[in-house]
Amino acid sequence: MPFAHRLKLLQSNVFAEMDQAKAGAKRAGQSIVDLSLGSSDLPVAPHVLGAIAAALPDPDSHGYCLFSGTAAFRAAAARWYGDRFGVSVDPETEVLLLIGSQEGTAHLPLAVLNPGDIALVTDPGYPSHAGGVHLASGQIYPLVLRPEHDFLPQFQEIPPAILDQSRLLILSYPHNPTAATASLAFWRSAVAFCQQYDLVLAHDFPYADLCFTGQPAVSALQADRQKTVTVEFFSFSKSYNMGGFRIGYAIGKAEIIQALRQIKASVDFNQYPGIQQGAIAALTGPQDNVNHTIATYRQRRDAAVAAFLRYDWAVARPQATPYLWVRLPEDWSQRSMEFCTRLVANTGVALAPGIGFGNAGEGYVRIALVQDSEVLEQAVERLCQFCQAATSPYSPGQTGG
Ligand SMILES: Cc1ncc(COP(=O)(O)O)c(C=O)c1O
């Protein structure tokens, strides 16, 4: 039976292969330490769960939820942005509820691109950014992120012919997988670039809170207060450990919000109102749980980096995100997939191969800090011992993100 050509472009072989490798290792008796996914192991705050539980018996929460039904949520999101970033937001026209940030970034290209239009997408980057461009039959121009440029894109390297056909720039900082961060100066340059070439600037911002410097991450809207080109995507999955609840929002230029809303009106009826109540409680209630989440990831980061150092492996200490981006020893520099499948088969430790995030991710692995420090330290030890046994002579990689 023939299916659409785009299915080929959406094949995520790497993660399917890792799934199989994990299942195979489990069958062979390995106990799996799964650090391959960024799914939080930390708890949702009780007041958030309480708000959802309180909504559950209410029959008003059981029907379809149209746009007007999301007003309280949009108001809470707009207020949070004002308080956090000093950006004033109209909840009626500049906020849109999403079923997770991934849903929004994957649908946005349908609203922005005509078939064949180019989207500028980072490589490495979060796979659904490219996925959404494929869904819209757009073309991808990869912005290769290099460690010597702090994993920030170099806009001046993009050929003019590409810029002529480009309609969309998709960025995400703090960045998955490299853990790089972006300054306000960078965002000003990105906004100016999009204004110059008439591009929509989409900023995927799920790690807004997960910074270890004491300062929250910079919003792209701080560099585009008039909302001339920007739409930003916020998620409840990371700050509030609510990945399974599937809720987020888009915030930014009214015309972009309206266009995305039109696409979504053909697709869904918004997230369940009870979960919206939980998200409102998350934004407006006590933030101790967020602070605990940040402190936990910081401590895990330090424990994992120290464990690498005990094997003379200097891994960068990221300023943000629950990830370490680790360059593999030279022998594995073109084989991150094979490295990860062999590592899980031999040790039970599952990591994400860098190639899964784009060609420029080859030679790296991403470690998600989603287990306790002791477990992470043991996993790093097993990884280093695996490298020593499998690599001859042993030569640790250089620092990553
Ligand atoms: C860059 C990025 N965007 C989006 C997501 C998913 O967010 P959500 O759960 O809100 O769809 C992730 C999850 O890891 C991510 O790293």
Within the chain, what is the greatest distance between any pair of CA atoms?
A: 66
Ligand 1 pocket, residue 100 CB under 6 Å = yes
**pLDDT for 276-297, tens place per residue?**
999 999 999 999 999 999 999 9
Residue in 91, 38, 69 with CA at minimum distance from that of residue 249: 91
Confidence of residue 397 (pLDDT cuts 50, 70, 90): very low
Q: Which mutation among 15, 44, 101 tests ligand 1's pocket best, with the greatest number of atoms within 8 A of CB?
A: 101
At 363, the amino acid letter reads: G
Ligand 1 pocket, residue 235 CB under 6 Å = yes
Ligand 1 pocket, residue 177 CB under 6 Å = no
CA of 108 to the centre of ligand 1 (A): 14
CA of 6 to the centre of ligand 1 (A): 22
Region for residue 75 given its phi and psi (left: phi exceeds 0; alpha: psi -120 to 50; beta: otherwise)? alpha
Ligand 1 pocket, residue 322 CB under 6 Å = no
Residue in 119, 146, 136 with CA at minimum distance from that of residue 204: 119
Confidence of residue 391 (pLDDT cuts 50, 70, 90): low
pTM for this structure?
Answer: 0.95
Give the pLDDT score at 10.
85
CA of 389 to the centre of ligand 1 (A): 35
* Least trusted range by pLDDT, from 57-71, 83-97, 107-121, 372-386: 57-71
Ligand 1 pocket, residue 237 CB under 6 Å = yes
Ligand 1 pocket, residue 204 CB under 6 Å = yes
CA of 363 to the centre of ligand 1 (A): 23
Instruction: List helix spans (H) across 11-139.
Output: 13-27, 46-55, 71-85, 101-112, 127-135
State the average pLDDT over residues 350-364: 96
- Cα(226)–Cα(229) distance, integer angstroms: 9
Ligand 1 pocket, residue 232 CB under 6 Å = no
Angle subtended at Cα 120 by Cα 118 and Cα 126, rounded to the nearest 5 degrees: 120
Position 211 pLDDT exceeds 90: yes
Give the pLDDT score at 216.
87
Closest atom of ligand 1 relative to the 98 alpha carbon: 10
State the average pLDDT over residues 45-72: 95
CA of 97 to the centre of ligand 1 (A): 15
Position 395 pLDDT exceeds 70: no
369, 323 contact by CB (below 8 A):
yes
Confidence of residue 401 (pLDDT cuts 50, 70, 90): very low
State the average pLDDT over residues 31-44: 95
Mean pLDDT of the chain, nearest integer: 95
State the average pLDDT over residues 167-193: 98
Position 188 pLDDT exceeds 90: yes
User: Whose alpha carbon is nearest atom 5 of ligand 1?
Assistant: 102
State the average pLDDT over residues 174-199: 98
- Cα(262)–Cα(265) distance, integer angstroms: 5
Classify 149 as helix, strand or coil.
helix
Ligand 1 pocket, residue 102 CB under 6 Å = yes
Confidence of residue 12 (pLDDT cuts 50, 70, 90): low
Closest atom of ligand 1 relative to the 37 alpha carbon: 14
Ligand 1 pocket, residue 104 CB under 6 Å = no
State the average pLDDT over residues 38-61: 96
Tokens describing residue 118? 């180019």
User: Whose alpha carbon is nearest atom 4 of ligand 1?
Assistant: 102
State the average pLDDT over residues 105-110: 98
Classify 169 as helix, strand or coil.
strand
Percent of the chain exceeding pLDDT 70 equals 97
118-123 and 139-144: which strand pairing?
A: parallel
In the chain, what are the domains?
A: 6-43+288-389 (3.90.1150.10), 47-284 (3.40.640.10)
Closest atom of ligand 1 relative to the 102 alpha carbon: 11
Q: Which residues of 369-389 are buried (b: 16+ CB within 10 A; e: fewer)?
A: bbbebebbbbbbbbbbebbee
Residue in 287, 296, 293 with CA at minimum distance from that of residue 84: 287
